[in-house]
Chain A
Amino acid sequence: MAGLFFNVVIVCVFLVSLSPAASAAPQKTNLSKQQSCTGCHGEFSSVLPAKHPRVAGKDISACASCHAPDPQNKATAKPYSSKLHLSHVQPDAKLDCLACHTWKPGKAFGVKGAKKPLGTLPAEGMDQIRQIFASWASSKYLDAHHGKKNVTCSGCHERKLPESGDTVASDRCLACHGDIENLAKKTEPKDFPDRNPHKSHLGTIDCAVCHKAHQPSKAYCLDCHKNFNMKIRFSEGGASGTAK
């Protein structure tokens, strides 16, 4: 799962006022039926800073005269922020992707009003995006945990539309979570020091072998060593378990 359009530098002030603390909370009724911004927010001015020029229009295409998607993160002026997603995919906000995006199955996928599409997306790719965004917003798994910390798709993935089989390179994980030696120290069991998931006979394996973002995480050790007392966070039982 990738996030080309989801992690651009926040230049857009628009975004700031859409944070959960924003004063103008949208009406929560019939969100699924709303396919425009103004259907929930009333006037754009209710969610924009005072100095923002007046915006005429109903949906995100109204922004396109000044803002543009910035999939390659080349910091063109005033890109949309991927964090727009975070406030719009909350569990109670059942907005469909197509409220703001354009898509022809198997063909172009883009932002309404933008000149260029973000890429092509097959039918199953759209299903995947819907599922993963829902998971990111409200699951008990690693994706939602990252979402809460404002980590968007490209915090982990490449900047491209997602494809089946995409994974996360371990150095992306370790960039924030420290090096593997430190992780190993944290997870060394007291009773059996050699049963350390981060320091085992498997050597260095990909983080994603055990830590899954959009589905339950599972300690790979347990595939063979059934009786190990080993817990992993964000497993089938949700976020409660801690790695020991």
Chain B
Amino acid sequence: MNDDAQQKKGLTRRNFLKSAGGVAAVAGMAAGGLAAGVREGSAAAGSMPKKWDGTYDVVIIGSGFAGLAAAMEAKNAGASAVVIEKMAVHGGNSIINGGDFCAPGTRLQKEAGVQDSPDLMYNDMMKAGLYLNHPELARTLADQAKDALEWCENYVGAKFTRLNFHGGHSVKRANQTVNASGSELVNKMLAKTRALGVAVQTRTKMERMIADKDGRIVGIEVKTGYRFPDEKSGKTAYIKARKAVILTSGGFSNDVPLRRIEDPRLTEKFESTNQPGATGEALLAACLAGAMDVQMDWIQLGPWTSPDEKGFGNVPLFCERLVGYGPMIDPAKGKRFFKETGNRKERADAIILLGHPVIIMGDSYAVPKQVFPRALEKGLESGAVKKFDSLEALAKNYAMPVEAFKQEIARWNSFVEKKKDSDFDCMIFPDARPTVTPPFYAARLWPKVHHTMGGLVIDTNAQVFGFDLKPLKGLYAAGEVTGGVHGAVRLGGVAMADCVVFGRIAGKNAAKETAWG
């Protein structure tokens, strides 16, 4: 073979895109910030190590719902397994999640007399996802969610005790854990995983995937004793995956450089509801090893979060109960600017366009009636929700033009009387009343990055696909690190179902792989 031919062969589609991915990663680093440091050291799948420091059939990266579900299924299918977690604490976002698990036809739905079906859930997901969902993945999720929930109850031992509603669903189908937190499930999963004899190693960060000469993933390079986010910490080690690596490393909502590449509006001005380790270097390491990404720029923001408290906080519970009862105001003008009952994406986009935080407010009729007392109490305690004796005091606090604001409230009140909003067509609920009764309550709103819909391309077996559109042997993925399941918008309560359904699939299939060595 002459040099020309070699060069041609070298420039396959996969190689070309791999180098393009590399450029993106470098650009991300140049953009600065915490996550750029986190990404240092990630490199293309490269040479095999001389010696492996540990050998398992299946190596799982990430200790949230998806990773632990995969670990249990792999182990129960006869494979040896290990779970690595880069953070000092297990559970990732799963341990701070709200504990709502959407599934159709569940026990709690039957008890509440709710009629539901996998078809209905599938349709809701597709509609919210603007039909960009990979239909076979959405279908798999809707079809298997009930079984996954029952596995969590009966096998893992987690308790689900309440049925909730989330916007965009046709019916109540969110089965809530007993403590209204994903920790109920993830902690029980962790205990079960360990009881099965699978080690969960914290502070162990994957640096790169290791492939053989045919591109099959055969193991990973890690840093043990890693102290997030200090990239100088830790010691290099190599873990061999005889059957497969399963990537369940979550999304990248806290990765400013990466999310700016995908959605340039999402600068460091935007906080995230996620845990600090929700960065994208593991996803990119998979891309550098040949895995393909999809729909990475569909990044979900919650329009209901406050810049005055950290993470998800209490203001979302204040805001979402008040829409349709009280107005949302642009403090620069003292005027309304958008339909309060619009969907997540529309409202977040409208606030971002203004470029500064806005106000959601209610009076002493709407707030005590609508807002869960504990959320209000906690919001007031932290200062994210404020209480004012008069509209003037409220306007003054937010440096609003007082007269314009008072006129706008009068205009809003006239819409409430008529139950029709001529300005923005806000849905005004039948029991809403004009905003006149002091004291008034208000909170500032500024969207926070909540979920990254995009990620690695998988099929219904949780097998990752490469840039050659063929299975990337030896690599499976599940949960938020994957893309296509939710399309443009993930509905509330579907992340838990996504993680458990595809985590289980990945674990079972990884265990079935033929060992390479």
Contact = CB atoms under 8 A, between A and B. Distances in A.
Contacts of A201: 95-96, 179, 181, 183, 187
A164 B235 contact: yes
Contacts of A220: 88-89
B222 to A, nearest CB: 12
B311 interface: yes
Interface stretch (B104-112, B224-232, B360-368, B411-419): B224-232
Interface string A201-230: 111111011000000000010011111000
A112 B501 CA distance: 61
Contacts of B235: 163-165
Contacts, number: 60
Contacts of B187: 201-204
Contacts of A166: 225
Contacts of A163: 225, 235
B91 A206 contact: no
B89 A202 contact: yes
B90 interface: yes
Interface in A163-210: 163-167, 201-206, 208-209
B381 interface: yes
Contacts of A202: 89, 91, 95, 183, 187
A165 B203 contact: yes
B234 A165 contact: yes
Contacts of A227: 309, 381-383
Interface in B249-308: 276
A227 B226 CA distance: 28
B202 interface: yes
A164 B179 contact: no
Contacts of B223: 165
Interface residues of A, number: 19
Nearest to B225: A165
A85 to B, nearest CB: 24
Contacts of B310: 224-226
A209 B183 contact: no
B190 interface: yes
A188 B75 CA distance: 37
A201 B312 CA distance: 15
A167 B234 contact: no
B234 A205 contact: no
A204 B202 CA distance: 13
Contacts of A223: 276
Nearest to B87: A209
Contacts of B234: 164-165
Contact of A165 (B91, B233, B381): B233
Interface in A25-66: none
A102 B105 CA distance: 72
B328 to A, nearest CB: 25
Nearest to A222: B310
A206 B383 CA distance: 32
B448 to A, nearest CB: 13
A201 B186 CA distance: 10
A167 B181 contact: no
A203 B183 contact: yes
Contacts of A203: 90-91, 95, 183, 186-187, 190
Interface in B289-347: 309-311
Contacts of A167: 203, 225
Contacts of A225: 310
A163 B233 CA distance: 10
Contacts of B89: 202, 205-206, 209, 220
Given A209-B89, A224-B310, A165 B96 contact: no
A226 B383 CA distance: 11
B381 A224 contact: no
Given A165-B233, A201-B181, A224 B226 contact: no
Given A163-B235, A164-B235, A167-B203, A226 B309 contact: yes
A165 B186 CA distance: 26
B382 to A, nearest CB: 5
Nearest to A209: B88
Contacts of B90: 203, 205
Interface of B: 88-91, 95-96, 179, 181, 183, 186-187, 190, 202-203, 223-227, 233-235, 276, 309-311, 381-383
Given A165-B225, A203-B95, 9 more contacts: A165-B223, A165-B233, A166-B225, A203-B91, A205-B88, A206-B88, A209-B88, A224-B311, A226-B382
25 contacts: A163-B235, A164-B234, A165-B225, A165-B233, A166-B225, A167-B203, A167-B225, A201-B183, A201-B187, A202-B89, A202-B91, A202-B95, A202-B183, A203-B91, A203-B183, A205-B88, A205-B89, A206-B89, A206-B202, A209-B88, A220-B88, A224-B96, A224-B310, A227-B309, A227-B381
